[in-house]
Amino acid sequence: VKELGFLQPTPIHKEAIPAGLSGRDVIACASTGSGKTAAFLLPILHRLSGKPRGVTRVLVVTPTRELALQIDEHLKLLAKHTPIRCAAVYGGVGMEPQRRALQAGIDVVVATPGRLLDHLQYSYTRLEQVEALVLDEADRMLDMGFLPDIRRILSRLPAKRQTFFFSATMPPEIERLACDMLHEPVRIDIKRHTQPVAGVTQRIYPIHHTLKSPLL
């Protein structure tokens, strides 16, 4: 963390990291860019420190491959001085490298729902020792129609686990899903800023669509 230049925790760090370290379930409403990735990865890395390798102990489920790659990259940076390793599992690429990682029992799996279900058809995908589950961008997953997939994935995980549930908004469907998944969670609500960041100027240019490229 020091090498990455993080000097002050963000509001989501201040609330989610202590709750995560305590072992409690966490439900957090926080917008993209608030620092929530480190808010769940740092307690997870602490939890895995010193544990035997060769078993998948953490599953992170996220709606898009871009987010899966981003979380995978963040974990690699934060875990630089540890033996903990991560694999991103997403569609649009070959399954074989992902199969090898799953078969080896990589410590942390970051997956999109559809591709993870593809792998769950085969015996090499072993999630019975998962100790922590992260559901990231839960509202986007609901918007993208992944709720049935999420429930199928949950049925393959141990009932006794720590769960981190992060969402930018909390519509009723998300609240119901959270109630099904979480046990006496710590609730965190980081309010969105409605004003532009200081130092940023916003302008709009109403023009015909054929002029967009020349203007840019």
pLDDT tens-digit profile of 134-183? 999 988 998 898 989 999 999 999 999 999 999 888 888 888 888 888 99
According to DSSP, residue 199 is labeled: T
Looking at every residue in the chain, the average pLDDT score rounds to 90
Q: Name residue 106's amino acid.
A: I
Of residues 171 and 87, more confidence is placed in 87
pLDDT digits (tens, 9 = 90+) for 9-55: 989 999 999 999 999 999 998 877 778 899 999 999 999 998 999 99
Nearest C-alpha neighbor of 65 from the set 98, 35, 17: 98
Say what the pLDDT of residue 197 is: 58
Rg (CA), the chain: 19
CA dist 57 and 44 (Å) reads 10
According to DSSP, residue 211 is labeled: G
Helices (H), the chain: 11-21, 36-48, 65-78, 96-104, 113-120, 138-143, 147-154, 172-181, 212-215
Please name the residue that has the structure tokens 């379930």.
Answer: 25
**Cα angle at 73 between 82 and 186, to 5 degrees?**
80
**Cα angle at 153 between 158 and 111, to 5 degrees?**
110
Please name the residue that has the structure tokens 């799996």.
Answer: 109
